[in-house]
Each structure stands twice: as structure tokens, then as C-alpha cells.
Amino acid sequence: MVPILVLLLLSNQSLALPAWQGPSGNSALGAVGTVWGGEHVELEVTAEGASFDFDCATGTINGRLVPGAQGTFTIKGTLVRERPGPTMRGGNPAEQATYSGAIHGETLRLIVTLAGSDEPYGEYVLVRGKSGRVMKCR
């Protein structure tokens, strides 16, 4: 292992990381508490996976998001729609959702699709470290 490292240092070449990894080789979304934001959405990394806050919904993914070599990913989760006015007893039902997209550097492109639907619930562009601009349905 040491001769390979020395060879790379002597040749002044670096190993390219996949597009979704930062310079420290961290996980795709970052450490717990990392925030990604965009228009109408904010994502926060949790110990369980990630939580989403949309204008009129919340969402979760349970599990680590692991993109492929090109930064693309697909992971199952849930989405709970919100609406103005009183909430149903027991809260609004969680719907199965698919979160897919790609991470390239500090940008995440996200498509949310509800189970049983061919049309996306929403398409978003998020930036690591930026707060989301979310206008809640109240």
C-alpha cells in the first residue's frame, strides 16, 4: 500500500472522487445536521437518513443515500401531505414515495414521485449548506 501512495505523490496525481463525494470522502448527504435547501424544499440529514420539509408536505427517507458512480440515486421513503385548516385525527396519512435524482458537487437534483403515480410530485434543485425557501400551507 505504501509504494502505491508514494508513487501517486511522486507523480503529482490525485485520485478523483465520485461527483457525490466531498474532498474528505464523506457520505453523499454529509454528516447528521447537514442542511440542503432550494425553492420550496429543505432537507436535513438525520441519524436515520433524511427529513424533508416541502411547502405543503413533509417527507422522510430511512437509510443511507448511496449514489452510483455518476451521482445518481433512487431510495424509497414516505411523504405526508399537509393542507390549510384542521388536521385529521391522528394526522394525515403517510404515502409511499420514491426520492430519486443526482448529486454533483454541492448540488442535488431531486425528483419525488408518489407510489401509484407516473407524474412527479415535485422536482427540486438543492444546494448543500443553503436554507430552503419553504412556504407552509397554513
Burial group, residue 6, by CB count within 10 angstroms (0-12, 13-18, 19+): exposed
pLDDT for 11 equals 36
pLDDT for 27 equals 61
Q: Which residues of the chain have pLDDT under 50?
A: 1-26
User: Which pTM was predicted?
Assistant: 0.78
Domain boundaries, the chain: 14-128
pLDDT for 24 equals 36
pLDDT for 6 equals 36
Task: Give the chain's end-to-end CA distance (angstroms, integer).
Answer: 59
Closest by CA position to 102, among listed 63, 138, 70, 134 = 70
